[in-house]
Copies of this chain bind each other. A is one copy, B any other.
Amino acid sequence: MYKIRILSLGKTKEAWLQTALNEYLKRLKATVTIEFVLTKTNHQLEDLAMKEKGFICLDPQGQSLNSQEFSDFLLQKLEERDSRLTFVIGGAEGLSNNLKREQTLISLSSMTFTHQLTRLILVEQIYRAFEISKGSHYHK
């Protein structure tokens, strides 16, 4: 069983977002548990991230991967890190350089999204990553 934590800024829990996320969490539950940790400030987010042994930053400056590459990346990182992985989604100002140093940076898009949408895209890509690795028809 894999465990993925997603640290993100986020004051609100929109009902539509919860419904959409739950759909993917339900489909993933036999394979991976996803835990969301929402913080009120960037400062809190960075404090929490610093306590992690290592994490993946979602950052506009990060490497742009397609879904197949993200699938390979995700499975490889989970392998390397004992089936546990943490993603950190920065706020609109991005994460501090201090925090990003020595971490892996990936980018979902060159566009800026709301943190709500970013969470949903990330979870959908995680689901897609496992479907790709299983060779299912979801991504076709």
| Interface residues, chain A, with chain B CB atoms under 8 Å away | 14-17, 19-20, 23, 60, 64-67, 70, 92-93, 108-114, 117, 120-121, 124-125, 128, 139-140
Contacts and interface: CB of A to CB of B under 8 A. Distances in A.
B19 A111 contact: no
Contacts of A109: 64, 108-111, 121
Contacts of A67: 111-112
Contact of A114 (B15, B65, B66, B124): B124
Nearest to A125: B111
Nearest to A60: B66
A23 to B, nearest CB: 8
A38 to B, nearest CB: 18
14 contacts: A14-B20, A15-B19, A64-B64, A66-B112, A70-B111, A92-B140, A93-B140, A108-B109, A109-B110, A112-B139, A113-B121, A117-B120, A117-B121, A121-B121
